[in-house]
Amino acid sequence: MAAAQRIVIENCSIATVDAHDTEYPSGYVVIAGNRIESLGAGRAPDGLENVVRRIDATGHLVTPGLVNTHHHFYQWITRGLATDHNLFGWLVALYPTWARIDEPMVYAAAQGSLAVMARGGVTTAMDHHYVYPRGSGDLSGAIIRAARETGVRFTLARGSMDRSEKDGGLPPDFAVETLDGALAATEETVERHHDSSFDAMTQIAVAPCSPFSVSTELLSRGAELARRLGVRLHTHGSETVEEEKFCHELFGMGPTDYFESTGWLGEDVWMAHCVHMNDSDIAAFARTGTGVAHCPSSNARLAAGIARVPDMLAAGVPVGLGVDGTASNESGELHTELRNALLINRLGAHREAALNARQALRLGTHGGARVLGRAREIGSLEPGKLADLVLWKLDTVAHASIADPVTALVFGAAAPVTASFVNGAQIVDNGRLLHVDEDAVARSTRAQAQRLARITAQG
């Protein structure tokens, strides 16, 4: 790092979210190239060479960048629909629309999803994309291109569906792929785009959609494919009571036992939601190191229930936060999930002892990094880790009277992002994206949403 250009951030509160939850009421962070070189209390060391920028961060809290562990970007252009449905009713209502997406729509929707997340402190995003209509273009490539242009670190979970209505699933027959076609396309996506290096900006996971939209063979062969290629596995699990009933009726067992029978528990697996988990299910996830993407706003929107996050954490289950698709969480912002995770879990059995502010921040940073298999590289502020960090402005009227900055960030209103860095490069400045024209994205997403609505209406 001796010859690297340096950025020095000073006079800020710092929540490192390291193993000891180290915090500094007033401290500094030194970025050298794409790494965190040093941090600590007081002012930065004298004599630093190649300092190209100094940031006076008075009134700010610096944290690791937020890590989103579950999303469906394409849903950005179907927000505000089916607003009073449970999961299965919502899916049946929207699948006929989603089955008509194409590359321009998916690219615009990815831009919109990424813009709002990045503007709100997300530095690592993921997208679980599983709708690939025939003749729709290079959807995976469009999503990856949008992430690259925004500047965020990114995991594409290449999803798939092959269990349609004729096979007892929920998607319409024209919305699914064949078993062999889905596996071949997934393997090609991994080979084209996955980067396994320490500072990788793009990674790929294998991600059949859910027990009610994929065959048992696609799940089991998908797990074999992921492990042969050395990538992670992602799917939906235990989201609703209807899903649990579906699994018992079709497979003769609950979701967790079904996933274990198909090779879908392990340290390389994470699942979205996991709302309806009994003690045995939680123990199985803890024993195998299987991760969970907790999506509190979406779970509330679809009336799915309250996930047992405190019990999962107590058992040692890796847990991160997810926005989920914006057709079930129209805000699309992960920083609001810090607050919602804390508040919604306090409605559960543990009440006020369920989660505190620092646990919520850990879910959104280190917890997410662990779930994505990247805790060595990101998720906490430590020397040698990648320089993915956020400066939250906490000296405005919205937060200034809250003495503790972490409490202000989690319990207070959504805090403005003064600066966000990914891989040492700034992507947000005073709440605006640096590499993408937000106004142009807004126009594009509206146009593509209207286009999709017209196509759907025409049948």
Are the C-beta atoms of residues 209 and 161 closer than 8 Å to each other? yes
Tokens read off for 227: 């492990």
Please determine, for residue 170, whether its predicted confidence score (pLDDT) is greater than 80: no
Tokens read off for 245: 């009933």
Helix axes 103-119, 438-458, angle to 10 degrees: 140
Q: What is the 3-state secondary structure (H, E, C) of the chain?
A: CCCCCEEEEEEEEEECCCCCCCEEEEEEEEEECCEEEEEEECCCCCCCCCEEEEEECCCEEEEECEEECCCCHHHHHHCCCCCCCCHHHHHHHHHHHHCCCCHHHHHHHHHHHHHHHHHCCEEEEEEEECCCCCCCCCHHHHHHHHHHHHCCEEEEEEEECCCCHHHCCCCCHHHCCCHHHHHHHHHHHHHHHCCCCCCCCEEEEEEECCCCCCCHHHHHHHHHHHHHHCCEEEEEECCCHHHHHHHHHHHCCCHHHHHHHCCCCCCCEEEEECCCCCHHHHHHHHHHCCEEEECHHHHHHCCCCCCCHHHHHHHCCCEEECCCCCCCCCCCCCHHHHHHHHHHHCCCCCHHHCCCHHHHHHHHHHHHHHHCCCCCCCCCCCCCCECCEEEEECCCCCCCCCCCHHHHHHHCCCCCEEEEEECCEEEEECCEECCCCHHHHHHHHHHHHHHHHHHHHHC
CA–CA separation, 93 and 145 (whole Å): 29
Percent of the chain with pLDDT over 70: 100
Domain 66-372 has CATH 3.30.470.10: no
At 248, the pLDDT band (50, 70, 90 cuts) reads: very high
pLDDT tens column, 40-78: 999 999 999 999 999 999 999 999 999 999 999 999 999
Pairing of strands 319-321, 291-294: parallel
Q: Which residue has the tokens 């949403």?
A: 449
pLDDT tens column, 82-139: 999 998 899 989 999 999 999 999 999 999 999 999 999 999 999 999 999 999 999 9
Which residue from 105, 127, 107, 103 is spatially nearest to 117, judged by alpha carbons? Answer: 127
Region 6-64+380-433: CATH code:
2.30.40.10
When pLDDT is averaged across residues 308-323 and rounded to a whole number, the result is: 98
Every domain range in the chain assigned CATH 2.30.40.10? 6-64+380-433
453 residue type, one letter: A
The reply to whether the predicted model has a pTM over 0.75 is yes
The backbone region for 170, taken as left when phi is positive above 0, alpha when psi lies in -120 to 50, beta otherwise, is alpha
Please determine, for residue 459, whether its predicted confidence score (pLDDT) is greater than 90: no
What's residue 282's pLDDT?
A: 98
Which residue from 222, 231, 155, 133 is spatially nearest to 184, judged by alpha carbons? Answer: 222
Pairing of strands 389-393, 60-64: antiparallel
pLDDT tens column, 213-223: 999 999 999 99
CA–CA separation, 77 and 73 (whole Å): 9
